[in-house]
Amino acid sequence: MIKKVTVIALILLASVNLSAQNQCKVDNKYFQAGESLTYDLYFKKGLVNMKAGTSTLNTTSLKYAGQDAYKITLVAKSSGMVEKIFSINDTITAYTTKQLVPLAFYKNAEEGKNHTIENMSYTYNATGVSVHTKRVRDGQQKFDETMTAKGCVYDMASIVFYARTLDYSQMSKGSETRVDFISGKKKSYMVIEYQGLENIKANDEKTYSCMKLVLSIQTDAFEDKEESMKVYITNDDNRMPVRLDTKLKFGSTRAMLKSYKGNKYPVSAK
């Protein structure tokens, strides 16, 4: 009898977890496993603005915690003269379900003289989601925290792919979408602002009609938004990132599309 009750309890618990995940599911029509994008990376600090290296953004399919999942991997590596100014060797990995429900986030970043390792894991329950986040910098633990949220929560990698799935046909310039977001040990909001269309000439010598998105972090305590990233995605069925501008602790980077493969649909470009 005890064994039967235990089995029923486990089934009910699994159902609750699935229910919590269901509210975060997204109908992804825009990208697929096998998409592989390569970028030229540029670094800017003060008056210094130069080609800094390369970056790749790959999406693969695998099993994660028993679920069919995407593994999204962003690698950025500096080279040449910029190594003497501010070296970059970053790997960011996010795991999501096929419906883009975040499962885990990992960051291994060597930026300048600092080496940062960050891990985040998501646990879904009856009231929402619990996120365990941990950071070690230069061998010293900076924090080890668990935060909760009632709705869906995103990280720096999964938020970009979530932004690719929004219905921009119903938006006008300046329209905003706000979602819960965790950076480090702080739970805040990521504001995705649609800034209309802009033609972007990429490093493959093609010009793409892109939707410009400005991603900014906002907290409950302050109305002001702190810009984190600009993302230009193709104005077609792929929503492929053509240009990504990211702010760093020291300076900023720009990734410009150089090549792509594995896209779900034909790409519109001139």
What is the structure's pLDDT at 112? 83
What is the structure's pLDDT at 84? 77
What is the structure's pLDDT at 244? 95
Each residue of 55-77: pLDDT tens digit?
999 999 999 999 999 999 999 99
| Angle 177-185-230 from CA coordinates, rounded to 5° | 40
**C-beta of residue 174 within 8 angstroms of C-beta of residue 147:** no
Residue 239: strand, helix, or coil: coil
Residue 24: strand, helix, or coil: coil
Domain ranges of the chain: 2-261
Residue 50 has pLDDT above 70, yes or no: yes
In angstroms, the Cα distances linking 21 to 29, 57, 127, 145 are: 19, 25, 11, 21
Average pLDDT, the chain: 88
**C-beta of residue 105 within 8 angstroms of C-beta of residue 157:** yes
Is the pLDDT higher at 80 or at 109? Answer: 109
**C-beta of residue 72 within 8 angstroms of C-beta of residue 94:** yes
Give the mean model confidence (pLDDT) for residues 83-95: 88
Q: How confident is the model at residue 220 (pLDDT cuts 50, 70, 90)?
A: low
Residue 160 has pLDDT above 60, yes or no: yes
